[in-house]
Amino acid sequence: MDPFLIIGSFVAILLLAVFAGKLFPAKDILSEASALTEYHRYEPDAQVETTIVGLDHTTVLLPLVSPNGKLGVVTKLGDKLVCRTLGFGDLSSFTVKSDTLSFSCTDFTYPNTTIRLRNKDMERAKALIDALLPKSGAPNAA
Amino acid sequence: MPLDLFKPTEYAVPMFVILVLAELIYGWKTGRAKFEGQDTFASMFMGLGSTITGAATFTFTFTASFWVWENFRIFDFGTELTIGIFLLAFVLDDLAYYWIHRMGHRMRWMWAAHVIHHSSQHYNLSTALRQTWTSSLTPGIFFRWPIFILGIHPSIVIFCAGFNLIYQFWIHTEVINKCPRWFEAIMNTPSHHRVHHANNPRYLDSNYAGVFIIWDKLFGTYVPERSDEPCNYGLITDLGTFNPLRIAFHEWVGIIKDIAGAKSWREKLMFLIAPPGWTPDGSRMTSEMIKEAWNARVLAKKKAAE
């Protein structure tokens, strides 16, 4: 293939994507209600204990009653929501920096997630995440 | 040797770009189409990658097809492209496409390549361009061999496949609701194909048609779009990333991990040829299991209401 054609196509794609981004700006769509609705669509039989909503409304943690010991996570990706149910061994690491908790998953399609939390939610979230790590240990606090 | 036929898709690409732009502006003005910048970039970048990998593997796929035609053809339809040959090849290619597509959803090996096309949660013309980079690594190539064995030259079949692909571009839209009844009855339309891209349990594994919806009606996979159940687009478990490399290879990575952890050769084989979601212990869900669970929930709700 002609390299100039490839470069030209790439530039056209970039311009179209920027244009799409300008015409359709992503809105704040993640709230407690939307997270629960989306998560129940994803896991209809799950029973949510409570919701921990991130300060920047990009991630919501959902500790579950059923299936017991698992953690529901809803994250905002562009203008859509993505759900996962994390169990023991699904996380590889997590870090806490100030009010931000970040964790990495073993799932190739859901690699990293970040959530900003109030002090009162941070301890609970850390405990929930820590319980899912294969080798439980203190996070890399900074 | 390849016949001297033009490549329809090469001529269509500028039109694809113009139509995506037109749908973008129309959607912005009317709210009848939705886009997202990163999603649009990912879809169109996957399309560019697909064109490059397709060109890189064309010689291999064509040589194999030509070898089959040259050595095993039953009839000789010649090398001249007449209207009759074109129509015959187009219909047979569309039938082959139906089975390639159906197996693309029912065999994990082929799903690993096709899943890319379903990985957007949006449904607009840019989604049509979100194409695989790895189709030549799947057994999909064999599904057109019967047409070559029948005696139709591979160049003519590939020419028809180009038009088939062009037809499928315009059906990736929410802008068009329903086409005239006679058209909906015979042809694949935006309505039929929205159902195919939906992950609602009711709509799973349906409407595999390329051009003619009659194949789905004939083989029992047709599901009409319902006004009381809007389509929710994407995968059962949507991707949490726009990274094109993760989009292109995620299912292959999943297969390799599963095969590496399999306890027997049977399990290894099943992770390749069984439907997506299959596991030896049933810990993940296939589309049948999802539909079954959904049906049970609907039934339970009805009973509770009574």
DSSP bridge partners of B151:
none
Whether residue B215 is found in the same domain as residue B276 = no
In a domain, B293, yes or no: yes
Give the C-alpha distances (Å, rounded to integers) separating B32 from A79, A106, B225.
16, 38, 17
In a domain, B235, yes or no: no
Whether residue B53 is found in the same domain as residue B199 = yes
Whether residue B188 is found in the same domain as residue B270 = no
Neighbours of B4 (CB within 10 A): 8
Q: B36 vs A13: CB contact, 8 Å cut-off? A: no
Asked whether the CA dihedral B176, B177, B182, B186 is positive or negative, the reply is positive
Coil, helix or strand at residue A54:
coil
Whether residue B204 is found in the same domain as residue B286 = no
In a domain, B153, yes or no: yes
CATH of domain A32-141: 2.30.29
**Alpha-carbon distance A96 to nearest alpha carbon in chain B (angstroms):** 21
Percent of chain B with pLDDT over 90: 93
Residue A141 scores a pLDDT above 50: no
0.90 surpassed by pTM: yes
Q: Mean pLDDT throughout B33-48?
A: 97
Residue B202 CB contacts under 8 Å (≥ 6 apart), including other chains: B223, B226, B229, B291, B294
Output the pLDDT for position B3: 76
Which amino acid type is present at position A67? Answer: P
- Tell me the per-residue pLDDT of A67-77, one tens digit each, with 9 for 90 and over: 988 999 999 99
**Alpha-carbon distance A33 to nearest alpha carbon in chain B (angstroms):** 18
Whether residue B91 is found in the same domain as residue B199 = yes
In a domain, B224, yes or no: no
Residue A136 scores a pLDDT above 60: no
Whether residue B54 is found in the same domain as residue B129 = yes
Neighbours of B261 (CB within 10 A): 10
- Tell me the per-residue pLDDT of A25-82, one tens digit each, with 9 for 90 and over: 988 779 999 999 999 999 999 999 999 999 989 999 999 999 988 999 999 999 999 9
Show residues of chain B in contact with A78, CB under 8 Å. Answer: 36-39, 242
- Tell me the per-residue pLDDT of B204-245, one tens digit each, with 9 for 90 and over: 999 999 999 999 999 999 999 999 999 999 999 999 999 999
Domain ranges of chain A: 32-141
In a domain, B229, yes or no: no
Using CA atoms of B49, B51, B56, B59 in order, give the dihedral in degrees to the nearest 10: 160
Q: CA B216, CA B97: separation in Å to the nearest integer? A: 12
Q: B36 vs A12: CB contact, 8 Å cut-off? A: no
Output the pLDDT for position B53: 95
Whether residue B191 is found in the same domain as residue B282 = no
Q: At what angle do helices B265-273 and B244-261 cross, to 10 degrees?
A: 150
Task: Out of B38, B241, B293, name the one closest to residue A109 (CB).
Answer: B241
Output the pLDDT for position A139: 53
Q: How many domains are contained in chain B?
A: 2
Q: A24 vs B28: CB contact, 8 Å cut-off? A: yes
In a domain, B228, yes or no: no
Q: At what angle do helices A3-23 and B8-30 cross, to 10 degrees?
A: 10
Of all residues in chain A, the one with the smallest CA distance to B242 is A77
Q: Mean pLDDT throughout B146-163?
A: 96
Provide the 8-state DSSP code for A86: E
Output the pLDDT for position B1: 67
Kindly report the backbone phi and psi dihedral angles of residue B260, in degrees, each rounded to the nearest multiple of 5, phi listed first: -65, -35
Q: A24 vs B35: CB contact, 8 Å cut-off? A: yes
Using alpha carbons, select from B164, B167, B192 the residue that is nearest to residue B177.
Answer: B192
Instruction: Write the ipTM.
Output: 0.90
Last residue of a domain, one of B219, B236, B261: B219
**Alpha-carbon distance A77 to nearest alpha carbon in chain B (angstroms):** 7
Output the pLDDT for position B306: 86
Averaged pLDDT of chain A: 91
Output the pLDDT for position B10: 81
Q: Compute and round to an integer the Cα radius of gyration of chain A.
A: 18
Q: Mean pLDDT throughout B41-65?
A: 94
Residue located via tokens 């995968």: B235
In a domain, B208, yes or no: yes
In a domain, B92, yes or no: yes
Provide the 8-state DSSP code for B135: G
Percent of chain A with pLDDT over 90: 82
Averaged pLDDT of chain B: 96
Q: Which two tokens stand for residue B30?
A: 């009317």
Whether residue B193 is found in the same domain as residue B109 = yes
Contact call for residues A74 and A59 (beta carbons, < 8 A): yes
Output the pLDDT for position A142: 42
Boundaries of domain holding B117: 8-219
Whether residue B86 is found in the same domain as residue B29 = yes
Q: Name the strands in the sheet holding A112-116, side by side, starting at the edge strand that comes first in the sequence.
A: A112-116, A100-105, A91-97, A140-141
